Amino acid sequence: MEREEELTVTIPVGVEEGMALRVPSHGLPSHDTGGTPGDLLVVVHSTPDARFERHSADLWRLEMVQVPDAVLGTRLEVPTLDGPATVTVPPGTQPDTVLRLPHQGLPVFGSKARGDMYLRMCVHIPERLSAEERTLYERLRTGHEKKT
């Protein structure tokens, strides 16, 4: 016997992708006369967020920085779940450096703790240079070659 039923299911804070939540007595009917119905299993799937990639309670994000900002350091404004945050990129930041923002991730399932947010620094290398930019980079290279 089939029946339709509308249910409200409370999703606990910090539930992970693919977790199954059990709703007692709302599954298929029992094979036994007068038996209680089985349990309904609801599998949780979340909509991806273009700003972040989820790894458990931690969030990851790629941040693009220009060469001068990686070399000299800079401050970036990045999105978090709690709104924009200012992050200091230290001088000498190398490509693929990871910066950690503690407690800026998702709630941890079954806990009051929060995961972290990680920012992977991608250094943008320009493909085309103006004549002035080329001259400046060549001056930097010449200065570097003299020191080595």
Q: Model confidence over 29-75: pLDDT tens digits?
A: 888 888 888 899 999 998 889 999 999 999 999 999 999 999 999 99
Q: Are residues 34 and 77 in the same domain?
A: no
Q: Are residues 9 and 73 in the same domain?
A: no
Task: Tokens 């991730």: give the residue.
Answer: 105
Q: Are residues 103 and 30 in the same domain?
A: no
Predicted confidence band at 80 (pLDDT cuts at 50, 70, 90)? very high
Predicted confidence band at 1 (pLDDT cuts at 50, 70, 90)? low
Res. 3: pLDDT tops 80: no
- Alpha-carbon distance 16 to 2, whole Å? 30
Q: How many structural domains compose the chain?
A: 2
Give the range of the structural domain holding residue 31, as residue numbers without chain letter.
Answer: 1-46
Q: Are residues 65 and 116 in the same domain?
A: yes
The mean pLDDT value of the chain amounts to: 91
Q: Read off the pTM.
A: 0.80
Q: Are residues 14 and 57 in the same domain?
A: no
Q: Are residues 111 and 68 in the same domain?
A: yes
Q: Are residues 39 and 69 in the same domain?
A: no
Instruction: Confirm if 36 and 26 have CB atoms less than 8 A apart.
Output: no
Q: Identify the pLDDT of residue 25.
A: 85
User: What is the CATH number for 72?
Assistant: 2.60.260.20
Q: Are residues 88 and 116 in the same domain?
A: yes
CA atoms within 13 Å, Cβ hemisphere of 63: 27
Q: Are residues 67 and 34 in the same domain?
A: no
